[in-house]
Each structure stands twice: as structure tokens, then as C-alpha cells.
Amino acid sequence: MIPTIIVPIGKESNRLEDLQAGLIDDTDQPLNRYGPRDLIVLRELAIPILRHLGVRETARQTGLGVGTVSAALNGSSTPRPKALRRYLTTAEAHAETLITQPGLHAEPSTDAKLRQAQRLLASDRGDGHPG
């Protein structure tokens, strides 16, 4: 019998597929794929809102661990795409809560809501700087 097709199976085939898809680099570490816009929105707009919400409450609302959330909010780790979406959704919901409490009208887009909530937080602190 002469084999004509080789089909990798098990863990090795998963790693081969990941390597071929470009998800593993030369250092043998998994890579995360992000849209640069989502990371900018997270870092510049959502993280200050999530910090206001607090690490434990952000963890509870996102379903992520406290340590994972803490690392993401202090910038020592970059969340995976699925977690990134959870952070953005949670930040938007908290921003809407902050905005509607004083009777303001929430802006329609996520970015605008986050900016509006940052301005509100900054004015509450009186320093003119968000976060």
C-alpha cells in the first residue's frame, strides 16, 4: 500500500492549521488579530469608562476574570478579540448609564457615547481630563 494523501490529526494538525493561518509566529506564541480601530477605541475611550465602573464590576459584567480585567485596564495585556468586544459592549452600556442619569441624551454611536461619558466624568472631577 502506498499512501497518496497525508492528513494530519490531533493537536499537531491544529497547530499546523494555526501556523498556516498566520496565528503563530516564529517565537511559537499565538498571535491575536485586531482591527486597529477597536484597540484605539478600547485604549482611548473605553478603558477610562471601565475604570470608573471598577475592575470587579467590569469582570462580572464581561464574564472575565478579575486578574484578566485588571491587566487589560492597566495596559499590561491586550485582550483577545472576543474579550475586546465584551469590554466595548460593557463600556458602552456603562457610558449610557452615566449619560442618562443626569437626564442627558445619549449620542447614537458607541464612540460618541464613550466620549460623552468621559466628558461627564471629567466635569464631575473638575480637572477637565477624562479618565
Q: State the 10-residue block means of pLDDT for the chain, 131 residues long.
A: 56 57 51 68 92 96 96 92 93 90 79 89 62 40
- For the chain, how are helix, strand and coil distributed in percent, rounded to 5? 60, 0, 35
- What Rg do the C-alpha atoms of the chain give, in angstroms? 20
Q: How confident is the model at residue 128, as a pLDDT?
A: 41
Q: Is the Cβ–Cβ distance between 117 and 49 less than 8 Å?
A: yes
In DSSP notation, 10-48 reads SHHHHHHHHHHTT-B-TTS-B-----HHHHHIIIIIIHH
The structure's pTM equals 0.65
Quick count: other Cβ atoms within 10 Å of Cβ 26? Answer: 5
